[in-house]
């Protein structure tokens, strides 16, 4: 029984909130626009409405948590490359969307699936689509396919799903962590560096972890996250809180706490943007970040409460260790103190400092400002 293009889109955009592509710490739900579930992505310095769609919901892999797994009984559909490219470009021309996120279940092997995604992307570009394009890389895609994707798209991604092979085996026993997933990320990083050397436009690289059901700790996740960011040019790591899907082997597992995911995102930004190493962060005896306070505040409570930072002499890196001070604000402080010494919390507030968070951990011209001590869990 055949179905219409609209029916295919209804089937092939379901569950795509599981694939984040945003700069917000926590992904936001889609909104309805003309009956379409529209997501958003950060592209070219602004948020753009985004169509997230599968090329095919048929899949030969049997990942235990996935709504599209081979063993799950539900209505499936697939687009031919020409069909999907034309439909997506129509939505783009009508200004319903400004970007497209293309993924797929795996059918006929990873290489054939990646070829179909690339064919769709090439057709989109030939038809005049100049919007934001995110292309998923299939597990085990070859080097040339990855290089094509990096050249075509603004963003490429392959989901590691877990911080190592032993955890992946509990989520997706049919996938190979090093040979299929990690190697594909390496290909993307190599292709990106080559294009940068040639002065060509390049795609950013992201990945995603499924948090919870494999039993990984926050320490496990952040150790690998640092390696991805510092050594493999991965610009963004997403942490997807596990939620049970009916008629999957993990349907009886509890959903993962969104608060845990929020703390992981905060720690990720500390590693990516603030110069923290993963092993500087404070974990409990089981390897988890505190839930009651953000990891930067917990670190500052341990290390800065009795050694506050002098805002008139500290460099940018040291200033960024203070809660309430980010990279941009730290640079403003350094610029402002060239003009005059900073002696009052109101001066810091005018520069963008969140003074209620920062006050316990700074000196202003050698003096502590008045502050209310933060209440943090004693175990950290």
> Per-residue pLDDT tens for 318-330?
999 999 999 999 9
- 138-160 average pLDDT score: 97
Structural domain boundaries, residue 144? 5-279
Q: E-assigned strands of the chain? A: 31-33, 36-43, 46-54, 99-103, 132-136, 155-157, 204-211, 236-241, 309-310, 362-363
Same domain, 264 and 315: no
Residue 39 has a pLDDT of 81
Average pLDDT over residues 139-150: 98
**Residue 307 is encoded by which pair of tokens?**
């050694």
How many whole angstroms separate alpha carbon 193 and alpha carbon 216? 31
pTM: 0.92
> 176 and 39 in one domain?
yes
Average pLDDT score over residue span 297-320: 97
Asked if residue 380 is part of any domain, the answer here is: no
Strand 132-136 and strand 99-103: pairing? Answer: parallel
In total, how many domains does the chain have?
2
Same domain, 65 and 201: yes
Whether 206 and 344 map to the same domain: the answer is no
Note whether 50 and 161 are same-domain residues. yes
Q: pLDDT value at position 49?
A: 87
Is the same domain home to 70 and 218? Answer: yes
Q: Please report, for the domain that includes residue 115, its CATH number.
A: 3.20.20.70
**Structural tokens at position 17:** 């909130």
40 vs 56, 99, 158, CA distance in Å? 22, 9, 19
- Whether 376 and 354 have beta carbons less than 8 Å apart is answered as no
Same domain, 262 and 302: no
375 is a domain residue: no
**What pLDDT, on a 0 to 100 scale, did the predictor assign at position 379?**
47
In-domain check, residue 338 = yes
Same domain, 343 and 199: no
Residue holding tokens 């290489």? Answer: 111
> 305 and 239, same structural domain?
no
Are 207 and 145 found together in one domain?
Answer: yes
Same domain for 200 and 327: no
Q: Would you say residue 93 lies in a domain?
A: yes
Alpha-carbon torsion, ordered 307, 311, 316, 322, to 10 deg: 50
Rounded to whole angstroms, the Cα distance separating 295 from 173 reads: 33
Please check whether residue 73 lies inside any domain of the structure. Answer: yes
Phi, psi for 158 (deg, rounded to 5): -135, 130
């Amino acid at each position: 029984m055949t179905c219409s293009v609209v029916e295919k889109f209804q089937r092939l955009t379901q569950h795509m909130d599981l694939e984040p592509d945003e700069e917000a710490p926590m992904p936001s739900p889609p909104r309805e626009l003309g009956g379409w579930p529209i997501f958003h992505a950060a592209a070219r310095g602004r948020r753009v409405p985004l169509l997230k769609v599968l090329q095919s919901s048929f899949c030969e892999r049997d990942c235990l948590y996935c709504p599209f797994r081979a063993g799950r009984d539900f209505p499936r559909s697939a687009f031919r490359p020409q069909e999907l490219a034309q439909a997506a470009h129509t939505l783009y021309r009508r200004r319903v969307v400004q970007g497209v996120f293309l993924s797929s279940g795996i059918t006929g092997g990873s290489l054939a699936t990646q070829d179909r995604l690339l064919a769709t992307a090439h057709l989109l570009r030939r038809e005049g689509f100049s919007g934001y394009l995110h292309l998923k890389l299939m597990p085990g895609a070859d080097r040339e396919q990855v290089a094509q994707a990096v050249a075509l798209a603004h963003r490429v991604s392959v989901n590691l799903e877990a911080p190592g092979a032993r955890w992946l085996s509990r989520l997706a026993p049919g996938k190979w962590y090093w040979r299929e997933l990690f190697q594909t990320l390496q290909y993307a990083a190599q292709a990106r560096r080559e294009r940068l050397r040639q002065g060509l436009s390049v795609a950013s690289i992201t990945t995603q972890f499924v948090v919870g059901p494999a039993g990984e700790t926050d320490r496990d996740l952040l150790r690998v996250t640092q390696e991805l960011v510092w050594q493999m040019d991965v610009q963004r790591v997403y942490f997807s809180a596990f939620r049970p899907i009916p008629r999957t082997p993990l349907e009886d597992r509890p959903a993962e706490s969104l608060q845990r995911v929020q703390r992981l995102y905060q720690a990720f930004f500390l590693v990516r943007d603030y110069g923290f190493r993963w092993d500087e962060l404070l974990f409990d005896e089981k390897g988890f970040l505190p839930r009651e306070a953000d990891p930067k505040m917990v670190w500052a409570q341990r290390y800065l409460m009795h050694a506050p930072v002098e805002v008139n002499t500290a460099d940018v890196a040291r200033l960024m260790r203070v809660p309430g001070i980010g990279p941009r604000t730290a640079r403003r402080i350094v610029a402002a103190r060239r003009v005059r010494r900073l002696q009052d919390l109101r001066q810091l507030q005018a520069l963008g400092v969140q003074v209620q968070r920062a006050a316990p951990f700074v000196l202003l011209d050698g003096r502590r400002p008045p502050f209310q001590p933060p209440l943090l869990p004693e175990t950290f």
